[in-house]
Structure formats: C-alpha cells, structure tokens
C-alpha cells in the first residue's frame, strides 16, 4: 500500500491500531475518530465525539486498543480520566497514559502525572492496584509482551522502573536511563530482554534487562524524542518521532546510530504519534498538522544512501588526500558484531552494520603533474634583476634545467637569444656557452626546416636520446668550449646577420650538411626524453610556436643582411662587436614573446609569465595589457603566499618591478603579506620597504 495522507481540522495526539490491523483510531483534544485502512485509502468509519456527551472526557492524550477485544478502546483524557470505550457503549475511569494487558483483555494499566500507576480491571469500576513510584510524573507505561505479569514505566526524572503486577509495594528493578525526562519506551517484540527508551536528551537507548540493565546501543538524534516504536520483523530497526523542531519520523538501525536508515518527511508539523501496522512496510502517524498519514516504507527517504562516501582535496604542494569507504567483499553473515564492516547491499535491507572509511594521503613525486616543487625552487633560485639580461636568462635556464624543466630552460635560452643574441656581451665569451647551443632549435629560418626538425624531434629515437641525454647533462651549462668554432654557424647568427665566413644553403638539403646538426639532434632527443613521462604536450607547443612564424618574414629580413655579412671576412671582429651590442633581435619577436607569456599563463604556469615579464619588462611593457599583467602578478603572489615565507623575497622583486602592483598591495588587503608563523598582519598601507624587513626576519638569506 502506498503513502496516504488524510487531513483533519484539528491535530491528533495519539493513535492506535486495532488488533487485526485493519482499523486505526486517532485521538486528540478535539478529535476522536476511527478509520478503516483500505487498499488505497484511509476511510473514516466512526466519529466518537459526535454524541450527546461532549465533555472533557473526550479530549484525549493517549489511546489504546484492547489487544484481545476489538471493540474496546481506552483513552487517557486531559482531565485525568481514563475512559474506556466499548464501541458499542462508553464507560469511564481516570488517567494519563494507558496500556492494555497483552492477554487479559480486562486489565489496563495507566500512569499519571502525579507519579502513580494504576491497574484497572475493566470488570470493576475502580482501580484494583496502585503502584507508587517515587518518581515524578510517569510519562509512559507498557506491559511486557513476553511476561504478562511485568510492566515497565518511565518517568520525568529519567528513571525506568520494572514492576511485577502482583507486587505493588516494591519496584522490581529501577535504573536511571537518561539525563533528563524520558518520554517514551517500547519493549522489543522479539528479543525478550530488550527495551528502548528515549527522551529529552535526544538519545534513544536500547537496554538489555539482565541482572544489571546495560545499554546495548545509543542513537543520537537531533531533537527530543517523543515516541519510539520497534519495527516489526526486524531485529535492529526502530522508528522515532521528535517532540520539537524535527517533523520527520526516522527509522534507525541501532547498529549504525548516527544517521537514520529511512525518514518519512510527509508531516508538515511535529509528529505526535506513530504506530507500525504489524508490518515492517507500513507505518501510521498523526501530527500537529492535523493529518493522519499512512507511510509506505518503500517511499521513505534514505539519508544513509544519499550521503557522500568520498572526500578529496589537493594541497598547494600537490599532495592529494582522499577518503573512501572501506568495502568488504565478504557476504554478510547472520550475526553482526559492532566491529564488522559490510558492503551496502543492493536491496535496502536488514544487514547494515558499522561503516568505516579510510583516508589516504598521496604525496606526489617532485616531477609529478601536481607538484609545486619546481615552482618553489624556481621562485627561490631565479634571478630577476641585478645582472645583465643575458646573465639572468642564463642563470634561470640553469635553474630550470636542474629541476628537469627543460621547456622552461629552453624558453629562457630563447629569450636570451632573442634579446641578447649569441655572442652578445662578454657573457658569452667568458664561458657561459651552454645556452648558445640551443639556439638553432628555436630560430628557424624557414618553415620547411622547422618541419624537418620537428619530424626529427619525434622520430628522434630513444637510442640517440640516451647517449645524447647523457652527453647533454654532462655539459650542463658552462663547460663546452668545443663549441667556439661552431657558434658562428648557429642559425641565429645567420638570422641576425652575424655570420662570418661560412657558406651555407637554404633549402632541404641544408640540415644534413651542416655539422652542428648533431648538437641539435642531441638537444631534441634530450627534450624528448623528458617529454615521455609527463609533459607530453609541451614540446608540441614549441613546434607550434615556431611554425607560427611565417617564413617569408625571415628570409626577407635575414637574407639581405646575411648576404651582406658573408662578404665581410676581414672585418669580422669589429662587426661582431657591433652586432653584439644591439641586443635587439633582427626580427620582431616581441609579439611572439608576448604570445608565449599568455601561453604559460593559460597553462597554469603563471610564475613563468611573471618572471619573464619582470626580466624583460622594458621591452614588452607597451605590448601587454597592464590589467592582465597585474592579474598575473596577483595570482603569482597568491601562490607564493600559499607556499609560505621562504619565497617572499620574490615578492619584493615583483613589487619593485611593477609599481601598480605595489600600489594595490598597499590599498587592498588582498595582497598583504601575512606571516603565517608569527601571526603578524601587516597593515595595508605599509610600504613595501617595511614588508621587506618583515620578510627577511624569516628569511635571512634574502636574495636582493
């Protein structure tokens, strides 16, 4: 049967099912009706208030149906009366909460606010026995379904009392169950020694009533619990409704006490009473929203299923933490202990036990894709100012190479090439020749050559790569003097017109003839070496970058010069010194460099964009959008802040380099330097000088 809702005019406080589970009675201050539970609907059968005797006896706090005689009901009225109803004719007595004896249909026990419990025999008119508890008001009382002589009562002082009906003078067992008032109790329908109690402390506790009653399980809920009812035919499930704030009815599995198994959310106001219809899939309830609702278990919301079993986060250092649920592969067994772990079964059923998760921290390798190790090291070691452009590029290229960031190294070398030129400045001749080797790979003079080179790049072959890779690293940077002869042959020289006495050809056959070709090959193969593990797409970009240059541009610019220079054999030295000094590339590469900066930013390496910009700023300033650059600066500073103080010396460089950033630094709180270690928050108006000092007190080896 599906979920059905019937609305009244007034709220009901209690409900009870007839012994055959076909009828339900609801009772409240102003309502007292019987409904019949049909296939699709709840049909009102009788309105017990519609009668001539309309008095306070009719406003009820609790109602029970005689488990044996299906025409007898009893209600506890607000005026203290217990009224028993024969659906044929009514009679009366006096009380608050009532419970029928499971077998003897004429016996009724009730508990009242004054702390007494009275046993009634319906055949007589007055109470046969009175049980005095030293408690305050008795909030709930219930006969033990397994031992008909016993009943249990819970009271507002948190006590649970077990009585034997035949001994009214002395309580059989008594214990304190909750820290505050207990509002509900329910004997387990099958397990003879289990009883559930719940109260204002928002917990539901399951007790095993052995010699010494002990708590088996505790369920923490989010509001005071008003009613609890064990779910039929399931050992571990119990339904509860709250007195305040939470309008839903929750069904809990006591083995997983943190989150409900199922929740019925149909009530718009607090639920006042719940009752299982003898069947684990049907639940009836009444609420303050004046409705009587039949709930179908299959329609219930499943909070347990909707929860998120996984967690994920990446830290600034590239460490990934991941939490995931532990899944057991074994089949659930019949007996479940608290520590067993089970896979969630496909049918939302009975075998749910404790669930655990494990967290794993994955620390990435230094070269891994998420690692920021190179960013940190580069930030520490890069030079940005203080030396000539050539030296800076040289140094940075060396730093990048050591970090296995070959494309970055290449980029620095390209920059050096573009703006300083091979042999430009005394740097070159004094031994920093490592960078010059790589020029040809960057400065194409024909696109055709590009393509050939690019095909070489990919088809280079690993065998060549190994040996040349070894050779390459051995010559790191400064030690190749054997190149002196060849440097003039570099294509850049050719392109920029610095070639001296060399004949060469343009065209397809060129590569095979020129000796320095092998160095190119070795360079490329080395690049390919590192390309395989992770940064596969970068070399491709290099190619793209190169091939973007229209060939005509070069040949038109270079050839006249080159032809011109080719003739100058004798006057080489002076020419060389002249050309050295220009620093300006022979072709307009600034656009390309700007494109490169944007490329790096797009692909997440804002450090490269920012540092290149600082190094080259005068040459590029007018070509770049100031706002864009500012944005890069801010992003970079933010990343540095993530990485802590060691890198802050970089920030000083940045501030000096870009005045508007410094200004923003001063104006907005977003770029303040925050020292995470000593909780010092510099004011936004501080000048960069003061921040410098502060930086240095944590990093004495400032790099200025």
Partner 1 sequence: VSVISNVETGHDDMIHDAQMDYFGTRLATCSSDRSIKIFEVKGSSQTLIADLREHEGPVWQVAWAHPMYGNILASCSYDRKVIIWQEDGHKWKKIHEYANHDSSVNSVCWAPHEHGLILACASADGSVSIMTSTAHTWESKKITNAHSIGCNAVSWAPAVASGSADGSNRSGSAVQRIVTGGCDTYVKIWRFDSTNGEWTEESKLEGHSDWVRDVAWAPSIGLPRSIIASCSQDRRVIIWMNDGVTGVWQPRELNTFDDVIWHVSWSVTGNILAVSGGDNKVSLWKESLEGQWVCLSDSAKGQPASEQRTL
Q: How far is the CB of 499 from partner 1 (least distance, A)?
A: 34
Which of the residues 490 through 549 are near partner 1 (CB under 8 A)?
Answer: 532-534, 536-537, 540-541, 544
Which stretch, 33-41, 188-196, 492-500, 633-641, contacts partner 1 (CB under 8 A)? 633-641
Check binding of 358 to partner 1 (CB under 8 A).
yes
List the one residue from 346, 627, 689, 701 that touches partner 1 (CB under 8 A).
627
Q: Which lies closer to partner 1 via its Cβ, residue 202 or residue 557? A: 202
List the one residue from 676, 693, 702, 704 that touches partner 1 (CB under 8 A).
676
Q: For residues 226 and 242, is the Cβ–Cβ distance under 8 A? A: yes
Which of the residues 646 through 665 are near partner 1 (CB under 8 A)?
Answer: 664
Which stretch, 77-85, 169-177, 324-332, 559-567, contacts partner 1 (CB under 8 A)? 324-332
Check binding of 307 to partner 1 (CB under 8 A).
yes
**Token output for 336:** 């479940």
Q: Which lies closer to partner 1 via its Cβ, residue 110 or residue 203? A: 203
Which of the residues 220 through 249 are near partner 1 (CB under 8 A)?
Answer: 220-222
Which stretch, 65-73, 134-142, 167-175, 620-628, contacts partner 1 (CB under 8 A)? 620-628
**Residue with token string 């009587």:** 292
The Cα–Cα gap between 173 and 167 comes to: 12
Check binding of 369 to partner 1 (CB under 8 A).
yes
Q: What is the dihedral of CA 677, 681, 684, 688, to 10 degrees?
A: -40
HEC string of 560-581 equals: HHHHHHHCCCCCHHHHHHHHHH
Q: How far is the CB of 373 from partner 1 (least distance, A)?
A: 12
**Token output for 562:** 């080159």
The Cα–Cα gap between 631 and 214 comes to: 65
Q: Which run of H or E residues covers position 416?
A: helix 406-419
- Exposure string for 460-482, b = 16+ CB within 10 A, e = fewer: beeebbeebbeebeebebeebee
Q: Which lies closer to partner 1 via its Cβ, residue 259 or residue 579? A: 259
CA-wise closest residue to 73 among 61, 88, 81, 63: 63
CA-wise closest residue to 13 among 205, 285, 200: 285
CA-wise closest residue to 390 among 445, 442, 429: 429
**Residue with token string 């704030």:** 245
Q: For residues 229 and 188, is the Cβ–Cβ distance under 8 A? A: no
**Token output for 561:** 């010069």
Q: Which lies closer to partner 1 via its Cβ, residue 479 or residue 668? A: 668
The Cα–Cα gap between 652 and 661 comes to: 11
DSSP 514-529: -TTHHHHHHHHHHHHH
Which of the residues 336 through 355 are near partner 1 (CB under 8 A)?
Answer: 354-355
- Exposure string for 63-101, b = 16+ CB within 10 A, e = fewer: bbbbbeeeebbbbbbbebbbbbbebeebeebbbbbbbbb
List the one residue from 303, 332, 477, 583 that touches partner 1 (CB under 8 A).
303
**Complete edge-to-edge strand list for the sheet that includes strand 127-132:** 97-100, 107-111, 116-121, 127-132
Check binding of 309 to partner 1 (CB under 8 A).
yes
List the one residue from 130, 363, 552, 564 that touches partner 1 (CB under 8 A).
363
What Rg do the C-alpha atoms of the chain give, in angstroms? 43
Q: Which lies closer to partner 1 via its Cβ, residue 125 or residue 362? A: 362
Q: Which lies closer to partner 1 via its Cβ, residue 168 or residue 368? A: 368
List the one residue from 174, 234, 315, 699 that touches partner 1 (CB under 8 A).
315
Q: How far is the CB of 397 from partner 1 (least distance, A)?
A: 22
Which stretch, 7-15, 50-58, 304-312, 469-477, contacts partner 1 (CB under 8 A)? 304-312
Q: How far is the CB of 287 from partner 1 (least distance, A)?
A: 16
Q: How far is the CB of 467 from partner 1 (least distance, A)?
A: 23
Q: How far is the CB of 639 from partner 1 (least distance, A)?
A: 6
**Mode of pairing for the β-strands spanning 32-37 and 107-111:** unpaired
Residue 655 DSSP one-character state: H
Q: Which lies closer to partner 1 via its Cβ, residue 579 or residue 610? A: 610
Check binding of 218 to partner 1 (CB under 8 A).
no
Q: Binding string to partner 1 for residues 192 to 211, with x set by CB under 8 A, is what?
A: ----------x---------
Q: How far is the CB of 154 from partner 1 (least distance, A)?
A: 22
Beta-carbon contacts of 298 under 8 Å, excluding residues fewer than 6 positions away, are: 281
Q: Which lies closer to partner 1 via its Cβ, residue 209 or residue 606? A: 606
Check binding of 666 to partner 1 (CB under 8 A).
no
List the one residue from 3, 36, 322, 555 that touches partner 1 (CB under 8 A).
322
Q: For residues 155 and 115, is the Cβ–Cβ distance under 8 A? A: yes
- Exposure string for 174-204, b = 16+ CB within 10 A, e = fewer: beebbeebbbbbbbbbeeeebbbbbbbbbbb
Q: Which lies closer to partner 1 via its Cβ, residue 519 or residue 542? A: 542
**Complete edge-to-edge strand list for the sheet that includes strand 60-65:** 60-65, 72-77, 82-86, 90-92
Size of the site for partner 1 (CB under 8 A): 81
**Token output for 568:** 């100058």
Q: Binding string to partner 1 for residues 246 to 285, with x set by CB under 8 A, is what?
A: ----------x-xx--------------------------
Check binding of 175 to partner 1 (CB under 8 A).
no
Q: Binding string to partner 1 for residues 579 to 608, with x set by CB under 8 A, is what?
A: ----------------------xxxxxx--
Q: Which lies closer to partner 1 via its Cβ, residue 100 or residue 342? A: 342
List the one residue from 239, 634, 637, 647 that touches partner 1 (CB under 8 A).
634
């Amino acid at each position: 049967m599906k979920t059905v809702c019937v609305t009244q005019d007034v709220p009901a406080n209690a409900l009870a099912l007839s012994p055959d589970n076909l009828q339900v009675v609801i009772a409240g201050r102003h309502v007292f009706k019987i409904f019949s539970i049909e296939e699709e609907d709840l049909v009102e059968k009788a309105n017990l208030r519609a009668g001539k005797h309309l008095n306070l006896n009719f406003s009820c706090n609790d109602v029970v149906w005689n488990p044996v005689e299906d025409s007898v009901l009893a209600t506890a009225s607000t005026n203290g009366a217990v009224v028993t109803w024969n659906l044929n004719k009514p009679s009366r007595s006096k009380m608050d909460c009532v419970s029928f004896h499971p077998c003897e249909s004429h016996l009724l026990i009730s508990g009242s606010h004054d702390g007494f419990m009275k046993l009634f025999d319906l055949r007589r008119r007055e109470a046969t026995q009175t049980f005095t508890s030293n408690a305050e008001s008795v909030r709930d009382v219930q006969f033990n379904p397994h031992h008909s002589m016993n009943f249990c009562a819970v009271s507002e002082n948190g006590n649970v009392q077990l009585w034997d009906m035949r001994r009214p003078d002395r309580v059989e067992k008594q214990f304190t169950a909750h820290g505050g008032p207990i509002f509900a109790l329910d004997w387990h329908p099958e397990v003879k020694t289990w009883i559930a109690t719940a109260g204002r402390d928002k917990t539901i506790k399951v007790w095993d009533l052995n010699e010494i009653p002990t708590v088996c399980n505790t369920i923490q809920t989010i509001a005071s619990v008003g009613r609890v009812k064990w779910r039929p035919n399931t050992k571990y499930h119990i339904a509860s409704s709250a007195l305040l704030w939470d309008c839903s009815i929750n069904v809990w599995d006591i083995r997983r006490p943190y989150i409900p198994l199922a929740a019925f959310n149909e009530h718009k106001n607090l639920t006042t009473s719940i009752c299982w219809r003898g069947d684990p899939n049907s639940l009836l309830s009444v609420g303050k929203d004046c409705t009587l609702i039949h709930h179908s278990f299959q329609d219930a919301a499943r909070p347990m299923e909707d929860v998120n079993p996984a967690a994920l986060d990446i830290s600034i250092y590239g460490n990934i933490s991941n939490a995931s649920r532990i899944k057991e592969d074994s089949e659930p067994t019949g007996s479940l202990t608290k520590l067993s772990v089970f896979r969630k079964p496909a049918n939302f059923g009975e075998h749910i036990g404790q669930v655990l998760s494990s967290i794993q921290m994955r620390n990435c390798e230094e070269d891994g894709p998420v690692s920021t190790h190179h960013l940190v090291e580069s930030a520490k070691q890069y030079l940005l100012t203080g030396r000539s452009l050539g030296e800076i590029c040289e140094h940075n290229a060396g730093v990048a190479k050591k970090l296995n960031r070959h494309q970055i190294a290449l980029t620095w070398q390209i920059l050096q090439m573009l703006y300083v030129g091979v042999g430009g400045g005394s740097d070159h001749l004094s031994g920093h020749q490592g960078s010059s080797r790589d020029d040809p790979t960057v400065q194409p003079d024909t696109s055709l050559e590009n393509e050939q080179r690019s095909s070489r790049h990919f088809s280079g072959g690993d065998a060549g790569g190994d040996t040349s890779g070894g050779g390459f690293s051995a010559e790191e940077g400064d030690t190749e003097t054997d190149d002196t002869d060849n440097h003039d042959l570099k294509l850049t020289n050719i392109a920029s017109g610095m070639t001296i006495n060399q004949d060469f050809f343009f065209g397809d056959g060129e590569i095979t003839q020129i000796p320095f070709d092998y160095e190119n090959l070795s360079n490329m193969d080395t690049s390919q070496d590192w390309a395989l593990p992770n940064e596969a797409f970068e070399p491709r970009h290099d190619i793209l970058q190169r091939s973007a240059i229209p060939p005509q541009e070069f040949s038109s610019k270079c050839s006249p010069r080159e032809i011109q220079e080719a003739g100058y054999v004798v006057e080489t030295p002076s020419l060389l010194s002249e050309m050295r000094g220009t620093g300006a590339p022979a072709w307009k590469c600034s656009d390309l460099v700007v494109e490169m900066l944007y490329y790096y930013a797009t692909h997440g390496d804002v450090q490269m964009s920012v540092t290149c910009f600082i190094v080259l700023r005068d040459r590029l300033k007018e070509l770049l959008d100031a706002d864009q650059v500012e944005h890069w600066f801010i992003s970079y500073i933010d990343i540095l802040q993530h990485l802590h103080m060691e890198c802050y010396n970089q920030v000083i460089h940045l501030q000096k380099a870009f005045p508007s950033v410094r200004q923003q630094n001063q104006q907005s709180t977003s770029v303040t330097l925050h020292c995470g270690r000593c909780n010092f928050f510099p004011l936004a108006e501080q000048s960069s000088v003061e921040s410098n000092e502060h930086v240095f007190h944590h990093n004495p080896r400032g790099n200025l």
